[in-house]
Structure 1
Amino acid sequence: MDSQIQKPFKVYLVSSPESPEFTLLTRSLTQSSLVGLDAEWKPVRTYQSSFPDVSLLQIACQLGGDSEPVSAVFLLDLLSIPLSSLWKPLREMLESPETLKLGFRFKQDLIYLSSTFCSHGCDPGFDKVEPYLDITSLYNLLYLKKHGRNAPKQTKSLSNICMEVLGFPLSKELQCSDWSCRPLTEEQITYAAMDAHCLVEIFNVFNSKVANTGDFLLKTTTLSNTMENVGLKELFAKHDLNDNALGMQFCEALSIVRSTIGSAAGQVIPSAERTIQRLPCSVNVPSDEFSKIVKKYGDRILLKESDRRPKTSKKKAKKRSSTNGISNVKHLEKFDDWQGIPPWDPSVGGDGYPKFLCDVMVEGLAKHLRCVGMDAAIPYSRKPEQRELIEQARREKRVLLTRDAKLLRYEYLINNQIYKVKSLLKNEQLLEVIEAFQLKISEDQLMSRCTKCNGRFIQKPLSTEEAIEAAKGFQKIPNFLFNKNIEFWQCMDCHQLYWEGTQYHNAIQKFIDVCKLSD
């Protein structure tokens, strides 16, 4: 693996107080002065009479000296482990002045976590996290330095912050999956571990570039206008501040996680007992520097009594209008499933080739459809109006794919062909659309469209020399491809070049498996 990549971190699933993973967890909580916190629960409606139960609590710990830091992510299965065994060590860690807690808008997580423990007899729950640092605050400190003290604060997702600071985005595809189902899938374990681990990695960048470099934020001169459009990742490079975390790619990060969790989801890590024996006692952030960081940048979360009560909607409920005694809700339920003739059907003037328009809620589905050879467009603008979506679908004779239930409220959409996608995961969404529209997928169709723009490839493949000429000033071809006898393909619309490398063959095999073409 590339030498730039951070040392692999281990993932431990904690589901029993008698397990070695639990022993390692409790020892890590007392010895680590830096932890990252996140929580997952089953998706719920915005307004309800009670808080949802937290199903999974992720704790990323960093221990060890500067020469050999040890990183571990503990996934606490709150549906399996007795919460009474966790209440004391968690409360001590959350309130310990010697442990700096990291989170991303963690207050809501704390409210749900406290409610979960209270409902299982651990009353009082948790009402304080101190000292605490929100990753959003760290990002804003970096952003203000780049753009000046008067620049407005940014509202960034954790994925976008990771992209700018660490160089890779976080996939949020599983954010709304049902975290109450057991066993957890390997993908869920990977997602949950990365969400907690990235908090520690972002802090490490902040610590090395800001907190321990002579008050970098306060003493460095304002950047020149020529750098005002440079991202934070490039900003560090301009100041010759190299960091291993900046070279980490998301796909490589996934391989690190998967290499530690084994092939089966929920597998117990056999190395937990050995890890306990060699666990270092020193922490990664020196105590004097830790005190400076806490004093200067530290914050806290305090829950008030009002935070412990679920909020109810203040909006007056609208009366459901009815047609012939049938409510609109029931009236529109029938449009959840596909019905009627698709606009590409020759009987209604179509050309016989399926064509879809994926709105922003299922944009990832568009790329999956392209990978299996389907014509799948996305909206012209990032925030299209509903009528713009309808007009684009009508003009291009496409079926509009969406997860937005609000679109189903307008009866004029019925004649413009709309399909509400029910599945949450892209692979399942793809299979759902294939089945709903009876699409014929063959192995020859795979990877036959440009995943970037939806264009078709030039039918005749390009030689290496032709590809080099086509790529000049547009796209860089890796040098190691020059000595290989491979064919290149170019999109007729955006001119993006593709070649049959490892990623191509992996993608082919993936969609053969997803679409069950080998059966």
Structure 2
Amino acid sequence: MSKSSPPEDADTADLLACLLDLWTRRELEEVRSEARNGFSDFQDPLGGLLHVLEGCPGTLKGKTTTLGHCVLMEFVRWRQSHPQVSLEGEPLERVHGLQLRALSLLSESQPSYTDPLLDIYQLHSLDQGILLDHVHKILALGCYKDAALLSMKLKLQSELDMEQICVPLIMQDKLSLAESYVQGHSHLEERLVRLLDSWCDPNFNLAQLHRQFPGLCLSHHQAERIQPKMLSKQVFRLKEHFNIDPALCPNSVTKRKVDSLRFLMYKRFVEKGMSEENWIDHIQATVADSPGLQVHLVELLVKYSGLHSAAQWSMRYRIPKESLPMGVWDVQQSLPPSESGEFEGPSPSADPWEPPPAHKDRYYQLPFAKDRIHFLRTQEQLELCRQTVLQPGSQVGVDMEWRPAFGSLPRQRVALIQLAVAEQVFLLDLCETSFVEQDHIVKFIRELFSDPKILKLGYGMSGDLKSLLVTWPEFSEEPLKRDGVLDLLNVHQQMQKNCRGRVDRGLRAVEVGEGSAEKGLSLMVQQVLGKPLDKMEQLSNWERRPLRNSQLRYAAIDAFCLLEVYLTLSQNPARFHLPADLCSIPGGQAGSSKEEKKSKKEKEKQKQKGKQAKCRGVPSDACGRVQPGVAYRGASIKPQQLRVVCDNMLQGLGRYLRCLGVDVLLLENSDDHRVAAQLAQEEGRVILTSGQPFQTLRSQVGEGRCLAVDCSEKARDQAAWVLQHFNVQLTPTDIFSRCQACNGDEYMRLPREDMARILRERGFMPVQAQVKEVENWEEHEPLSSLTPVPREALEDPRYSPHCRWAPASHLDQQSLRFPSGAELQLHTVPPGLLPRIPVFFICTTCGKVFWEGSHFERVLNQFQNVLHIETETDWDCTKNRQSNGAHRGFPKYVATTRPRVQSPLARQRDGSRGIKNMTNCEFNVNSFGPEGQTALHQSVIDGNLELVKLLVKFGADIRLANREGWSALHIAAFGGHQDIVLYLITKAKYSSGARMFLLSWISIVQRQSWLLSQSCNREAP
């Protein structure tokens, strides 16, 4: 290899020294200018460039702001005007030498060098053995990412061991790079999927990989990513992406089926949202002939259903005795022959067309008989449907059904298409092979969706259309033209946004009772037509023939309800706060989840900038900057007088403020910040926001109408700060004075007797069931979320929120609706509550039912620093509640000023009287009181050993320090309570040396606090 001449070496050395000096002074333009001049003066620019790059110090991995990178990029630009500078025509020996020098620079882990050097020095032409040796050197250094990138650029994937590169990348949470590494190489794609699947084996141990790559140190996050739950998702994604046969990833398929079994158990036995017939269908399809899944099914049945059901299924699959869970074999022996055979399907008489009366009262029903539902399986039947549906000006409800796969299989083929017109529903059977394979049905679907004169109604049609692509690949080759299609999902989203403040679906309140809250199309039907849909058949086997009556009824209702919803909305769109032209509503949700989520770097930058004031809203200087230390000086106001709108970054704050009685509107996640400004201007509200939108919003609403909140604080602390900022006087009667679900401020009281009667009439409670008031609360098992209310609550309730009360006449006894149109939400009331709750509170705006519970105590305790109790009546009311609440014997409510201070002797006497009350209640023994003490701390201060023992029994933390840093043992030792010290060190299991030290110390110097810290040290001599 020829070397540069000494004069040229001197020139490059001078240039390098000059560049280093300019770079140190950060004179970047001069660096670029000197580099260009130096390249022009070089007799050998290619060799000179390498000399300069080799002399550049401090190559920082992954950084492009280095001198070497700056010089290299400048050379690339300079070479564009000097195309003659290349390796063409150079002697082979010289070319080889330059290439080796350039290749050695790539080992410096400088990714920004790779592409320019590969192009300038044509490194692809080097001998493959040399390139492979270089990649192996990089691997030996532990630079797996650099080795993968270089291998991909040099196209060496097929020559290298895939696992040597991809396994470390996956362990370092760089699966996307490993995916790119194997992309385009089918054998490597298959090996990667099989590798990930092997890690989903139950016997896989991460220690095996650590032994294979001892130099890799994984973080906790990286180790968590190498778990079957996470890996199986990646296997299924890559399987579909690379079109891999599912048989090559058995572990992931089994893992997904096990998860499906758990889901089916939950739906059937916990949520009770699936019929027995549907459940059996899915169980049999999921388990199939797999012995391992059959055993797992029996184990889950023991947990969710009991030994009897587990024994039945174990006999059906003939599982050997040694594989059965404990107790199943014994139950098997006691089963009669009639229960040990095959499961029989439901008889036709068990599935009548007409649902029971309770079902009709609760759910939306078809307005016509079964003979108006047509099941189509032939071309002649389809022609009759075509003549009816393809009428200009008609409206067609469109829905599709397919067999749910619960994630274990890719998207399924459509099994049934429902087309609803006025008083008729057509069901197209796509499980009939001869019917599906004919071209006329595809042509019919194209005509229907492309005709602008026919209005097609659907709900969430994107999923249906994706399944159509799976059913007929020709829709991928020639996309389906859609004209005259209205997706009611978009209408529903717009309706929810416009109805905010009336029925706010964006806020998810705690649901009580059996059955989940309505959602999706069922929720829309309930809001528009008054009753929800029965979704029991939604997850049924739609490929089984014949379909049951309940399936036919569900399929017809799912399509026909779209017509009635559209008709109702069109007749009175203003009632639902919609425009007159529903088709003018834009489709889709604004924004994307990726844009809504800020990266860690952006959050960090915002945190650095925003160590500003917690509030930048009022007041500010002439430049808009905050004046620190200046607070709001307005007169005190009530929570009901504060009207705010919270942007979508402060929904937690909004929920807390609404809980405290503040009039709060919440933006949806998809709402633009301009919506907040519009609401503030129209309704005179104050905007609560955080981050960058503050400046824009403040300019639209003016000073004092926009408040910036520190988003790094917890929502509870934000709420307390907002109340203090606006000088809001919060009292106990303000708590829950507004509905947490819809922001309404009007309630109606409903006595227990009336609630029981309504529940019986509507089928939510057995008719013969009797409600007996529990007289002695301490002799019954308590319900942790409830607080008993005495009989006189109706006449003189202890808790009377500061809200408007509606008379009982506002509730229509027939429809159970309020003048607002809201229906009484009976499904949220468990009948078991009735003996304990004498009165229920119903929001007349949304129909949600509330009752007194421990949530009130928790809220009072959380906002003790801003709670104002100004009268003796208020204090007595609060004190009475806490003495009868879930936390008996301990004060849970506090005020800014306590009316009296008890002596230690009085506290000890009252605490002793409260022992019996505490034994039958659930309470948080480790919560702090107003003086910064827990119940255990206070009992130690009082020297009450009996109460200390009881608190420890109920889970009091012995080592928990009070607000001054003193543990219970500190307090006992300092107070000279030797009996309590003995008990605490026994329970805390201190060493014998520490115990002797404590006891001797107490007897000598009981009051010297400087020695106290040593007595509680586990390592004390």
TM-score by length of 2: 0.21
Q: Which has the higher strand share?
A: 1
Q: Over alpha carbons, which structure has the higher Rg?
A: 2
* TM-score, structure 1 normalization: 0.39
Flag the structure with higher helix content.
2
Greater relative contact order, per chain length (Cα 8 Å cut-off, separation 6+) = 1
